Structure 1
Amino acid sequence: MSLNWRDVATFYQYEIRAGLRERSIVMSTLLIPIFMYPFLLWAMFTGITYVVGQVEGLTSRVVIDDQTGRRDDFRQTLVKDKKCTLEPSRSKDKALEQIKAGDLDALIELSPVTPGPKSPPGNFIAQVYFDRSKDRSEQARSRLEEALSLYRTQWLEKESARLQVTGEQWQGFWIERKNVASGQEMGRFLLSTMLPLFLIIMVAMGCFYPAVDSTAGERERSTWETSMSTAASRQSILTAKFLYVATGGSIAGLINVAAMMLSAKAVMAPLIQQTGETFEFRIPFAAFPIMALGTVLLALFIAAVMMLMASFARSFREGQSMITPFYMAIILPVVLVGTQGAFTPQEALIPIVNVTKLFAKAINGDIQILTTILTLFSELVCIVIVLRVAGMIVRFEDFMIGSYRGSLGKFVKERLLKRKQTTPVGEVQ
């Protein structure tokens, strides 16, 4: 029977209504994209700020091993710092053991330097011992280096005054830092590092439960046969299910983008305050149609693969276990490749990775016609290939009625690749 779009629309509406009654589908498609990642980011940044504040509020326990015997002025500099507590002197070995055990934060060793042409009198070498694996010890190292820098500046000023050398003469050069990126560019940079990854995850999650529920879930509830026994053609029914799953993924991805855009400034406020920079979280208008089209194509591809894999399961739990490896495989290349760097035509032909790169470039306002066309074309080709494989599989009657026992890989080996000469049940040779 041919495809009837009226039947497709009828079954599509039925699947949408049935999906909205499922709590897990509503959670993964609507609620999680709106609240999960904005809340997680806010909690993460707030937690980092809290932990950093707690560490900075701790007093650093420091021991000075002054082998010069003339550095009381440096000791006084540390005493003035209320965040450093000078511990009684002890042997170097004991101090290092206490640093490893966490009973001491840092040891600074002051060694004399033989005076010479390049080493004025009073010069010394400072060595700081600390444990980088402990935040408190790392903080002590930072405070000691700040104290040394302050002491060095004061010492240079004193020596230059004694030698009647002005500050401009011994300074040599000044270093001034200026960020030439605007607040809008900084905001786009942050969004381009996070939004593509979250969008991929949300699209996959939005397709996950509808794909399992509309295939393996119906087999478990014994409603699959009921749908197939209606007057509508199988092609119309499966098309409606496919569009329903893709709709769930598209909605989840687009809602997540909207939620992140609306909450980005508030969510990242703790991080922004520490940098002292100004951020404007606005995406170029030209990026919206590209991201929307890319999201829909990505959802169509993921929905097709997930439905194809879950169709071989006989229960909801079995369907989840079949789809989970593919779900993880989607996220892995995105994490490994990243969103920054050049977007080459070769990368534009790699599924999932190309969409991630396209989203990142679109957010930054760097839209390239060649890579955009290649990405969209590549996604279309992948969708057609998966649908073609699905069309070959549904010709087998034992698959449609659920009597076939096995996974997608086993089915492809036995039937499509004809490694075993079997006659499809119900198919005329």
Structure 2
Amino acid sequence: MIGHIWRKELKEVLRDRKTMIFIVLFPTVILPTLILVTGLMGYQMLSAKQAEVLQFSVAGPEPWKTDVVKALNTLVDTEFIEEESGDLQQLVSQGRLDFALHLHPSFDPVQANQSRWQLYVDQTDDHGQFARIQQQLTVLSDNWLTLYLNHHGIESEVQQRIFNPLLVEKVGVAAQRQHVGSRVGSVLPYLLLFLCMMGAMLPALDIGAGEKERGTLETLLMVPQPRTTLVVGKFLVIATTSMLLALLTLASSFIWLLVVGSVLNLSLFLTLAAMISPLDIALLLLLLLPIAGVFAAILLAVSIFASSYKEGQNYMGALQIAVIIPAMIAMMPGAKLDATNAWYPLFNVSLAIKELLKGTINYGDLSYVFASNLILASLLLWCCARWFSRETVLFR
């Protein structure tokens, strides 16, 4: 009987073709396109900002001021503006200069005292374009340090020891899959959990609050079946659409990674697509299965409680914020799945997906993640069935 109810409710959901088309197109076309376009626009804007010509001025004693100007003018994207009068800090604040450098009035590179300069920049407009200025000043400072050491008779071998007292070579030991999977695994759980909830939201509204508005709920209650059977049938429909949306998201993500990586020649995307195996996808879907059940039970209970479709939308809109919190746990530095936090429902899924993409998953912990979320989904389904049996809730 549950199968008959599942098919009946699924037909009701599929009847709204415009909504279903949007549900399918959103994770497969609309969302990837928005992410790609936004990423490309952001990259182009950042590149243009970092490559723009920077107008600057320098104040300080000669001949060191001239040396600084010559050093900065060796950069092809700088332009010196002579400012005989005026406050340099104010000129930068007003936008007339991109940055300004104020040398100490008594600066002399052969003197023993350390000199402190001031580099005026608008920090609200700093997008990495001033890094090259700092690098050029560091080169100039090293040259002056050499001049200082030569002036005081320090031999060249001793100078090298002073400049480089210790050479440390940073060698990454993590495998490429761990490196790439760590980055992607911080974002993918957020998208999957959000889309799982989105896939459950519209069907839940339709077969709960929507039936109240259409007046078909009373007819359904006349069926000679326990209300638990009716709830389970509705629950399975919502969980089915939620998992379908997650499956579409994974499939479209894999295809988009291959297409974008090939067209734009992005080796990172191609590497990520190549490292995902069918077993990884199967385990990821297995992790999302109880999560779809959790969302289905919660949203069905909310939809049953709502007296209208609009009221249900208001409740579920607020619930979307609750999805963000457990999904963001994987983005926190040092977040790692272990035998303890593997039992924390919802939060553990984000960490498990991240470890799965990195290829460092402990399959024992994976079973804990699945079991904890399955227990939570079963408990919520039981609560939803009890909720559905209350006349004051059904006919409010």
TM range (shorter): 0.7 to 0.9
Pairing 1:135–2:129 present: no
Q: Structure 1 residues 394, 15: closer, same or farther in 2, change over 3 A? A: closer
- Which residue is equivalent to 1:314? 307
Unaligned runs of 5+ in 1: 1-6, 405-429
Q: Structure 1 residues 224, 115: closer, same or farther in 2, change over 3 A? A: closer
Equivalent pair of 1:45/1:270 in contact (CA under 8 Å): no
In the superposition, the TM-score normalised over structure 2's length comes to 0.85
Match of 2:353 among 331, 339, 359: 359
1:288-313 per-residue CA deviation (whole Å, 9 max, x = no partner) reads: 33311211110011101100111022
In structure 1, how many angstroms separate the alpha carbons of the residues matched to 2:329 and 2:261? 24
Which amino acid letter does the alignment assign opposite residue 91 of structure 2? Q
In structure 1, how many angstroms separate the alpha carbons of the residues matched to 2:315 and 2:5? 25
Pairing 1:50–2:44 present: yes
Equivalent pair of 1:207/1:249 in contact (CA under 8 Å): yes
- Which residue is equivalent to 2:71? 77
Unaligned runs of 5+ in 2: none
- Which residue is equivalent to 1:107? 100
Deviates further, 146-155 or 98-107:
146-155
In the superposition, the TM-score normalised over structure 1's length comes to 0.79
- Which residue is equivalent to 2:323? 330
The offset of 1:272, in angstroms, is 9.1
Pairing 1:399–2:393 present: yes
Aligned residues: 389
For 1:2-401, what aligned pairs fall within 5 Å after superposition? 7-23=1-17, 25-27=19-21, 29-91=23-85, 94-111=87-104, 112-113=106-107, 118=112, 125-135=116-126, 139=129, 141-155=130-144, 165=156, 171-172=163-164, 173-264=166-257, 279-281=271-273, 282-283=275-276, 285-335=278-328, 338=331, 341-400=335-394
Equivalent pair of 1:301/1:379 in contact (CA under 8 Å): yes
In structure 1, how many angstroms separate the alpha carbons of the residues matched to 2:77 and 2:83? 19
The offset of 1:46, in angstroms, is 0.8
Equivalent pair of 1:39/1:267 in contact (CA under 8 Å): no
1:152-206 per-residue CA deviation (whole Å, 9 max, x = no partner) reads: 4555667788966268556534454444444333321222111111110010000
Q: Structure 1 residues 50, 99: closer, same or farther in 2, change over 3 A? A: same
1:95-127 per-residue CA deviation (whole Å, 9 max, x = no partner) reads: 2112122222111122244677856xxx85443
The offset of 1:284, in angstroms, is 5.0
The offset of 1:16, in angstroms, is 2.2
Q: Structure 1 residues 226, 374: closer, same or farther in 2, change over 3 A? A: same
Q: Please report the RMSD computed on the Cα atoms of aligned residues, expressed in angstroms.
A: 3.2
Deviates further, 364-373 or 374-383:
364-373
Q: Structure 1 residues 117, 278: closer, same or farther in 2, change over 3 A? A: farther
Which amino acid letter does the alignment assign opposite residue 131 of structure 2? S
Equivalent pair of 1:79/1:85 in contact (CA under 8 Å): yes
Equivalent pair of 1:393/1:399 in contact (CA under 8 Å): yes
In structure 2, how many angstroms separate the alpha carbons of the residues matched to 1:361 and 1:248? 26
Deviates further, 244-253 or 48-57:
48-57
The offset of 1:91, in angstroms, is 4.8
In structure 1, how many angstroms separate the alpha carbons of the residues matched to 2:70 and 2:355? 54
